[in-house]
Amino acid sequence: MADDDFYLRYYTGHQGKFGHEFLEFEFRPDGKLRYANNSNYKGDNMIRKEVFVNEGIREALKKIVTDSEIMKEDDNNWPMPDKVGRQELEIVLGSEHISFTTTKIGSLLDVEDSKDPEGLRVFYYLVQDINCTARQASLTSERIQLSVWYAGTLTS
């Protein structure tokens, strides 16, 4: 991969009373953001969205990842996935590639009780930042598409 390549995938999910429930974000090198949310609660359907994000959002996300220093971490001492669920984080940043797997983290108390609280804390806060960025990018793109559609209907 080129030095400026960037890929990020985050998954969190569990197998429970309502089947396989999960949330997944994927930022691809071509700028595509893929989002999936599967909750079978009360018969809900899976939500899938694909939008393209601009270079500014991609650069902001790269900066969040770089500033977090997650690429220096190691998940060997993090809690393994269990019946509570699992989280996965995969990042390609230039020539670096990391992939982490751990259990779902309910709160900072879970982080503090782990064998590697410092590393898991980096993961915990980065995941929150990724979640916010992905949701904002998805909503912003939807508003722009809706505005373009609405403006087109006014001129027709």
Residues 78-119 have pLDDT tens digits of: 999 999 999 999 999 999 999 999 999 989 999 999 999 999
Residues 8-50 have pLDDT tens digits of: 999 999 887 777 889 998 999 999 999 888 886 666 778 888 8
pLDDT attached to residue 2: 59
* Gap between the Cα atoms of 99 and 90, Å rounded: 4
Phi/psi at 99 (nearest 5 deg)? -145, 120
* Gap between the Cα atoms of 140 and 120, Å rounded: 30
The answer to whether the predicted template modeling score (pTM) of the entire model surpasses 0.85 is no
